Amino acid sequence: MSFRYIYTGTVRLTTDNVLSILLLADKYNIAVLRETCVEYMLHHIVESPDTNRTLSWYQYAKMTANALLVTKCWKFILSNFDIILKTSDWINMTTAEIIQFLSSNDLVVSDEFYLWENVEKWVTLKFEEEEVAGVVLDVIPLLHFTMMQPKQLLQIEKSSLFEKYKAVFMEKTSAAYRHHSLLSDEVNVQTSTERFRNYTSDIYGLCVNFKIEDFKDMEVSLCRYKQRVSVPIEFISSTKGYKADQNRVLFEVALHGKGVCKTFSFYNQKPKNAKLSVRALNVKPNLKAEITFIIYGRKNGVCYVAFTYTNTHEYSTTCQFFMEENLIAVSTLCSEKSPYLIDGSLEARVFVKILSLEEKTE
């Protein structure tokens, strides 16, 4: 994509120069140039970490109230936070933006300790010494320390930030140690109010992975995959001596990638949409869970989360199933230029996070 500038000839837009050119277009009110730059941004949000500028574009979009660009950048940031944390723009984020990111439990990220490592890097590289105290006070409480392993908590205690600002850290780390200690001793009490994010690491046990090879050519009746996942009510880093049946909920996740054929359909039509079901096999009283489904794609050489669906469901002994009949159109998945297939395969994850088991009150 390029535009013609009256004196300098043709200038090719890149992820590095498009924001600077857009700022000039805004300054001199060149509408066509502004539209060209924004269009380029919308088509280049997906880039490898070394060339990804989504964070800077997100800042610009908020500043100029460009709702479409804000939405597309925000969705990419939430669903691809591991990519975002590797970009050079991460260090340039404002405190308000970091607070916004860390306040979300919808982040798709490997684990909480990885978040800490990058927050620590951001604090130490961006701020002068006299500014750090205020930033630590605002940001550190937003990290979920109970979602870290005890060995990771020990690593944090060796950091320079911990040494200088123990008072800020101690309340959080002490609560995390207590959390792990009580659960390891099988004390069946709620020890934390910190919620799970969409963690991809196996240590959390929150998700199941699906990979359907040769998706386009697969028969509807065969495009059905079922897995079970034992989801913890609260995170504990070791299952040694842990009563899984009391502190976990067993779910059966079924993905019908091309929907379900209805045997008695009058018109004998093929299903139009993929279908997802999540069944609780050992229902707890007043169980509420959040279910997130993501599909990976590949663009510009980057594997990324290309589709996200989230919903919540309250389970009971009379309502053990969550069902989404219209997850995503099969025609979209199977289109010639489908962004949702990687080498012909459909790669997806389903996260199941328990939100509460609280008794209902009238």
CATH of the domain at 338: 2.60.210.10
- pLDDT value, residue 11: 74
pLDDT band at 265 (very low <50, low <70, confident <90, very high): low
Whether the per-residue pLDDT at 25 is higher than 60: the answer is yes
Angle at 273 (CA atoms; ends 268, 279), nearest 5 degrees: 105
* Residues facing residue 324 across a β-bridge: 276
User: Average pLDDT for residues 343-361, to the nearest whole number?
Assistant: 84
333 in the same domain as 279: yes
The pLDDT of residue 96 is above 80: yes
- pTM confidence score: 0.90
Q: DSSP states of 67-103 as a string?
A: HHHHHHHHHHHHHTHHHHTTSGGGGG--HHHHHHHHT
- How far from chain centre, in Å, is Cα 318? 31
Residue 253 lies in a domain: yes
Residues spanned by the domain of 63: 1-87
Co-location of 160 and 282 in the same domain: no
Closest CA to 354 of 224, 235, 255: 235
pLDDT of res. 343: 93
Q: Which two tokens stand for residue 152?
A: 């990771």
Provide the pLDDT for residue 361: 40
Asked if 146 and 12 sit in the same domain, the reply is: no
Q: Please name the residues in contact with 198: beta carbons below 8 A apart, sequence gap of 6 or more.
A: 105, 106, 107, 108, 109, 206, 207, 292, 294, 351, 353
- Residues 225 and 183 placed together within one structural domain of the fold: no
Predicted local distance difference test score (pLDDT) of residue 205: 94
Domain count, the chain: 3
Burial class (CB in 10 A: 0-12, 13-18, 19+), 9: exposed
Residue type, 304: Y
In a domain, residue 362? The reply is: no
Stronger pLDDT, 275 or 284, i.e. the higher one: 275
Phi and psi at 317, nearest 5°, equal -65, -20
For residue 306, the model assigns a pLDDT of 96
Query: What is the overall mean pLDDT for the chain?
Result: 89
In this prediction, residue 267 has a pLDDT band, given cuts at 50, 70 and 90, of: low
Q: Please give the pLDDT value at position 192.
A: 73
How sure is the predictor about 244, in pLDDT bands with cuts at 50, 70 and 90?
low
The label of the residue with tokens 């984020």 reads: 93
51 lies in the same domain as 145: no
* Residues constituting the chain: 362
Instruction: Tell me: do 196 and 239 sit in the same domain.
Output: no
Is the same domain home to 216 and 337?
Answer: yes
Q: Give mean pLDDT, residues 335-359.
A: 90
Q: 264: pLDDT confidence band, cut at 50, 70 and 90?
A: low
Give the span between the Cα atoms of 315 and 291, in whole angstroms: 12
Sort strands 287-299 and 275-280 into parallel, antiparallel or unpaired: unpaired
Domain membership of residue 156 (yes or no) is: yes
How distant is the alpha carbon of residue 134 from its chain centre? 28
- Is 167 in the same domain as 217? no
What mean pLDDT is predicted for residues 320-329?
96
Where a domain ends, among 55, 72, 87? 87
| pLDDT at res. 8 | 42
Does 114 fall in a domain? yes
In a domain, 306, yes or no: yes
Give 110's DSSP letter.
S
- Given 200, 220, 241, the domain boundary residue is 200
Chain segment 187-208, per-residue pLDDT in tens: 665 667 899 999 999 999 999 9
pLDDT at 356: 83
